[in-house]
Each structure stands twice: as C-alpha cells, then as structure tokens.
Structure 1
Amino acid sequence: MLKLSTYLNFKGQAEEAFNFYQSVLGGELYLQRMNETPFGENLPADEKNCAMHVSLTLANGVILMASDILESAGHQLKVGNNYYVSIHTDSRVEVDRIFNSLSADGVIEMPMEDMFWGDYFGVFADRYGIQWMISHHTEK
C-alpha cells in the first residue's frame, strides 16, 4: 500500500503553525523537538526547542507533517523548498524502486538509509524540481 502526505518546512514556526492548523482542522497532534534527538545536545540553544518532527493526523487518516530547518546545519528556507511530497510504502523493495525511479536525473539530498527513528528514509528533488521524501517503517 502506498500513502502520500505533504511535508512542510518552517523556520522555527512549525509548532505554532501546527497548533493553528489543529485549531482549524482538528486531529491529533504529535511533536518531537530537536533536543529529544541523538544530536540535540550539540545544537545551538535557539534550535534545541525547534520541531524535529510534527504531525497532525486528521480523522480521515490524512497526515500533514513538518519540521523546522536548522540554520546551524546549513539549511535555508526559501519559497519553493518549504514543502515535500512524502511517500510511505510497506516494503523496503518498493521504497528503493520508487526512490531510484523518481530521483533519476534529479538531485539527491539524502540517500536511502536507516534512521534513528526507525524508518528507512531518503530525500531528493526530481528532474522537475519537485521535492520528495520516501520512507518505509522498519520493525526493530
């Protein structure tokens, strides 16, 4: 099964934006801060409370997700890089197939790899400039 979601980037406003979205749309809010991650202790003080991942799960199963950029990691928020289409699959083979096909002639931001939060995950812009996040949740 394939699921598509929208993933947004913010500059320190992800939590505020998602509290607003929840007030309008309802749903269940989840927030993980940068200081709750394995690399969080090494961040500048003004980035520690930023959102590593925030999601709003709506009653119909649609999930809106986001994070804050980290300027200390060289990220810059510009109109056009503040969104991603996120694909979740139920097979590692399928996620590799989709990643390799869609990223052909594009720009890979993060190759597919196992992440600390339990997903096999990668990020790229396709040949048309559309940004994608591809993931498969792996059971540990």
Structure 2
Amino acid sequence: MKVNTYLNFDGNAEEAFNFYKTVFGGDFIANMKMGDAPDADKLSEEEKSRTMHISLPLSNDTILMASDIVPSMGHSLKKGNNSYISIHPESKEEADRLFNGLSKGGEIEMPMADQFWGDYFGSFVDKFGIHWMVNYNPQS
C-alpha cells in the first residue's frame, strides 16, 4: 500500500509546490490548471489559472499532491492542524536539511532535537500553513 498526501490551497498550490521542489528536488509529474477542465468557460479568469492537480514525487514510493479550491463551486479552505505530513529521512543530516528548508518563513513548533523515544524529531507549520513533522530514527 502507498500513502500519498493530498493538500488543498486557495490559489497558491503551484507557488507552494515550486517552493517544495526547491527542497525535495525532482520534477512535477503533473501540473494541470482548472482552465484545462471541461466547462472551464464557466470559471473566472482567476479561477481558470488555479491548479486542478499538481504532483511531485518525493521518493520512489511517495508522491505529494495538491489542488486549489474553486470558490465559485462553493469550495472554501479551512487551514488547521488536522493533518501533518510526516517525513522520515534516512539520516540526521537529511532531517536537518529538510527541516531547515521547509520551515523557512514558517513557524517552528518543536525544533529538531533528540527525543525521549529515541528519535531525532521536529515539527513546524510552513509559510503556506501546512503542518510538517520530520522524524529520523537511527535504528531504521
């Protein structure tokens, strides 16, 4: 089974994913606009430019995906802490690189530190309101 995180944004999905791409690297495997969808002529020009689907591979088994909401279709975005993206790098150095890169311009909840359960862990909210956990387990 694969688990992929899907995020919703309010008009800045592509901006967020361009930022994430600077940290993770790689290339988008999809980047479609609302204007490419059937009946797009019913959308405003602003909504046509919103992201219908964007995806960025983070590893062979994990893909980060997202779209923008469409207000004229009754969508609204409620940012909250009900979901985190939990990433598990393969080294302490990679954990620090990801944490420092993704948290830039955001709000750190717990700085990276050795934890009582034996892992090296930190959490933050990035500048787009997405909650992240970085967890390195030296025994894995």
TM-score range for the pair, normalised by the shorter chain length: 0.5 to 0.7
- 8 Å CA contact 1:27, 1:59 repeated in 2: no
Matches of 1:19 and 1:57 in 2, distance apart? Answer: 13
Give runs of aligned pairs for residues 1-140 of structure 1, distance below 5 A. Answer: 2-29=1-28, 30-80=30-80
**What displacement does 1:51 show?**
0.2
State the SS of the aligned residue for 1:32: strand
| C-alpha deviation, 1:64, in angstroms | 0.2
State how far apart, in whole Å, the 1-side matches of 2:40 and 2:82 are: 22
3-state SS of paired residue (1:79): coil
**Gapped regions of structure 1 (runs ≥ 5):** 86-140
Distance 2:61 2:47 in 1: 30
Bigger fraction of residues in strand: 1
* Residues 52, 68 of structure 1: 8 Å contact kept: yes
Task: State the SS of the aligned residue for 2:31.
Answer: strand
In structure 2, stretches of 5+ residues that fail to align are: 86-140
Contact 2:55 2:63 in 1 (8 A): yes
Secondary structure of the residue aligned to 2:77 is: coil
Stretch moving more, 66-75 or 52-61 = 52-61
Quote how far apart the aligned CAs of 1:81 are: 9.2
Shift of 1:41: 1.7
- TM-score calculated relative to the size of structure 1: 0.54
Shift in Å, 1:58: 2.4
Shift in CA distance, 8/84, structure 1 to aligned 2, threshold 3 Å: farther
Query: Aligned partners of 2:79, 2:59: CA distance in 1, in Å?
Result: 30
CA gap of 1:72–1:81, structure 2 versus 1, over 3 A, is farther
CA gap of 1:28–1:47, structure 2 versus 1, over 3 A, is same
Q: TM-score, normalised by structure 2?
A: 0.54
Superposed CA deviations along residues 72-112 of structure 1, whole A, max 9, x for unmatched, are 00111112499699xxxxxxxxxxxxxxxxxxxxxxxxxxx
Cα deviation for residue 60 of structure 1 reads 2.9
**Per-residue deviation, 1:44:** 1.2
Q: Residue 46 of structure 2 aligns to a residue in which SS? A: helix
